[in-house]
Structure 1
Amino acid sequence: MLNNETKFTRTRIAPTPSGYLHLGNALSFALTAAIARKTGAKILLRIDDLDQQRVNHLYVQDIFDTLNFLEIPWDEGPRNVIEYHDEWSQLHRMDMYDDALQQLAEQRGVFACKCSRSQLQGDSYPGNCINKSLPLDTPETAWRLYTDDRPIDLKTLTDGITTIRLPETMKNFVVKKKDNFPAYQLASIVDDLHFGVDLVIRGEDLFPSTLAQLFLADVLGVTAFANTTFHHHPLLMEDDDKKLSKSAGSTSIKYLREQGRTAAEVYQNIVSMLGILTPVRSFKELEQLL
């Protein structure tokens, strides 16, 4: 249960338009809306579209269709595809991402890495390029962050502040991709600081990303990000214990909507998958369980 006295300024819903949204996305959106309303936070819609090779206008439209179908409100951000494209795409904030990358370069906090995917098999970076001193402007290279074992303070919604260290899978993580676009970890920090986000609600699969972002914020010296509160919710799983993936399949909101399912039925499906027996037909009813 949340403390009724807990208050925040702003949280965000931050989908990626790389596929049709599914029940797991709906859970995250609904929890964000419920916690926001309970804590007084405004909701920002931020569409993470820096992976331009995977962006599809049909997937962008699906974001608005899904939020409207589920009657999930947002206070700031685009209201339609045109506003997203003209004003809110991350492409409009490239200068801010580049400034952060330039700061890392000037601090000598990054190194160039030209490893291919086949050379990076496994969950952890093997350190192939860390001592090669490749120039940062070498073509077809990514920028990786020099990481160490410094403690990271993590502020959570339910457990307060805990101290933890960067997991092995996030050692020397990428901050600039080979296509010269900023990586997710860096862009997410810059965006959250730019919009004044102080509450982040995300799936527990993104827990390593939370630690990476807190580590990077410390390197950049942006202390405001360290005060962000995080909440990592359980994932909805398929029958074979795999997390849901974006598709036009039976768990996509688009499919369920086209099959005539109501928003109330979708909400009930979500909470049933979580093992919750209390009937829930909207994010407002979900709020009552928090």
Structure 2
Amino acid sequence: MTDVSTRPVRTRFAPSPTGYLHLGGARTALFSWAFARHFGGTFILRIEDTDLERSTPQAVQAILDGMKWLDLQPDEGPFYQMQRMDRYRAVIADMLAQGTAYYCYSTPAEVEAMRERARAIGAKPRYDGTWRPEPGKTLPPVPQGIKPVVRFRSPLEGATAWNDLVKGPISIDNAELDDLIIARPDGTPTYNFCVVVDDWDMGITHVIRGDDHVNNTPRQINILRALGAEIPHYGHVPMILGPDGEKLSKRHGAVSVMEYDRLGYLPQAMMNYLARLGWSHGNDELFTREEFIKWFDPAHLSRSAAQWDPKKLNWVNAHWLRELALDDLAARVTPRIRERGGDPSATTDLPAVLALLRDRSETLEDLAEGAMLFCGAYVPADDALRTEVLDTDALALLREFHTQASALQDWSEASLDALIKSILKDRGVKMPKLAIPLRVAVTGRKHTPSIGAVLNLLGRTTVLERLGSTI
């Protein structure tokens, strides 16, 4: 078991609303949620909406919709950074008063010149500390007409280290870190500063996020220390790669998690699959939410990048389709049938139809498409298929089946199967000689599930009418 904290566990998911909830973000949210649930803690949703040019209400809603679909409901929030501006400004004012932050009047052009000079001598390009106050140092005169930024007075010596929950011990020399801008010339605070104040105010004990944030962590730790705040435990999860080993992109399926809802995936399947991208519990591939919560420990998070596998996702989804109660499955498939122009009430037993189809289906969309055989308009076989299948011998078999089926007292799958076998035995022919013509005549298709089950579900009246118009 991972040593968590002496404080009650509080985790957070803090997306920027500049687009949909993508797969990497959804996995981060899932791990943070599971950590809190495992340790009986609190999961917080925070919307980091300070990028006014790119943040939109539509993107916020897309994130909320994705979280709801995955059933990752927060215990607190959502909180919005734009509603906390007064708090950030107050903390910056305190830091200026205490000397842990300072005004910098260097222009962007001057800072770029500093970096160029550093590059020219092979040093790390960085701000050179012109406006950083030091004992005995005389600062330049304040220029007229220049609005300053506020910089954090970063420690110059030593190292900032933490024991990463995923990667293990990490140490960054403070000499590698320049004095971070924490407020822009117009006074708006910057990303790294807002994150720090939020984590401090919200009592965050554990931060699980993508490893693209590793470079932000020493800066955030140093600001937290300057504020006298307790430092959270950090865990940085490697990225998800596409099937080809490259960074996951739209061509691999890196779309909104809600697109997977549209494509017919179940939220419990997506949860199950995402959880296994970088986390494991022995060789267990399939597990419930409750089992995931019980088993989750960041000690089992992988240090290696995970690889997206659409076939594996389909396999997981197919499993959870089979686990759903048929009435529940029917409720999920019904709107998808209607979207196709079908009528779910055209069959008297949609759950039975889905029971017939689901062993060969991977998604709700597969099921809806299959159900159109029973819920959609009947389209007779085209001339080419009729010519291929319905020859003289086939029509003779169909006439015999029609005669005997008309006299059946029990129109059930078992009775229909028995009738088919009886005719085949009497005529001395194999199953395809009758089954394929029956499919073509009754469904207009050459391939369907078990013919006895199909005839039973279509019903006596429909089957006999379609056969009668064929023979």
Scaled by the length of structure 2, what TM-score is found?
0.51
Of the three residues 216, 219, 239, the one matched with 1:235 is: 239
Q: Can you list the C-alpha shifts for 1:31-58, whole angstroms capped at 9, x where unaligned?
A: 0111111122111111111112211111
Unaligned runs of at least 5 residues, structure 2: 132-138, 298-471
User: How far apart are the structure 2 equivalents of 1:5 and 1:157?
Assistant: 12
- Provide the C-alpha distance between the structure 2 equivalents of 1:233 and 1:96, rounded to a whole number of angstroms: 30
**Structure-2 separation of matches of 1:5 and 1:156:** 14
Q: Greater helix percent: which structure?
A: 2
1:280: Cα distance to partner? 4.5
Distance in structure 2 (CA, Å) of the matches to 1:134 and 1:238: 54
Cα distance in structure 1, aligned partners of 2:62 and 2:205: 27
- 3-state DSSP class of the match of 2:76? coil
Shift of residue 143, structure 1, vs aligned partner: 2.9
| Contact 1:19 1:59 (C-alpha < 8 Å) held by counterparts | yes
Change (3 A) 1:137 1:176: farther
> Identity over the aligned pairs, expressed in percent?
26
Say which of 152, 155, 160 aligns to 1:152: 160
SS in 2 for 1:270: helix
Is contact 2:11–2:32 with CA below 8 Å preserved after alignment?
Answer: yes
What's the counterpart of residue 262 of structure 2? 258
The structure that has the greater radius of gyration is 2
Check 1:139–1:151 CA distance in 2 against 1; reply closer, same or farther (3 A cut). same
Please tell me the residue identity of whatever aligns with 1:105: L
Do residues 210 (structure 1) and 217 (structure 2) align? yes
* Displacement over 6 Å in runs of 4+: 4-7, 158-162
Distance of aligned partners of 1:280 and 1:143 in 2 relative to their CA distance in 1, 3 Å threshold: farther
SS at match of 2:108: coil
Pair 10,275 (structure 1): closer, same or farther in 2 beyond 3 Å: closer
Matched, 1:279 2:272: no
The CA RMSD over aligned residues, in Å, is 3.8
- Where does residue 61 of structure 1 map in the other structure? 61
**Contact 1:23-1:252 within 8 A present in 2 as well:** yes
Displacement of 1:229: 1.7
1:189 aligns with 2:196: yes
1:225: Cα distance to partner? 2.6
- The question of 1:72 aligning with 2:43 is answered no
Counterparts of 1:140-179 in structure 2, within 5 Å, are 141-147=148-154, 148-154=156-162, 156-157=164-165, 164-166=172-174, 168=176, 170-179=177-186
Q: Which amino acid aligns with 2:126?
A: P
- 1:63, 1:193 → 2: CA distance? 24
Cα distance in 1 for partners of 2:88, 2:4 equals 36
Deviates more, 1:102-111 or 1:177-186: 102-111
Q: Which has the higher contact order (CA 8 A, sep 6+)?
A: 1
Give the Cα–Cα distance (whole angstroms) in 1 for the partners of residues 143 and 230 of structure 2: 27
SS at match of 1:191: helix
CA gap 1:4/1:181 in 2 versus in 1, 3 angstroms: closer
Question: Secondary structure at the residue paired with 2:215?
Answer: helix
Aligned residues: 277
| TM-score of the two chains, using structure 1 as the length reference | 0.78
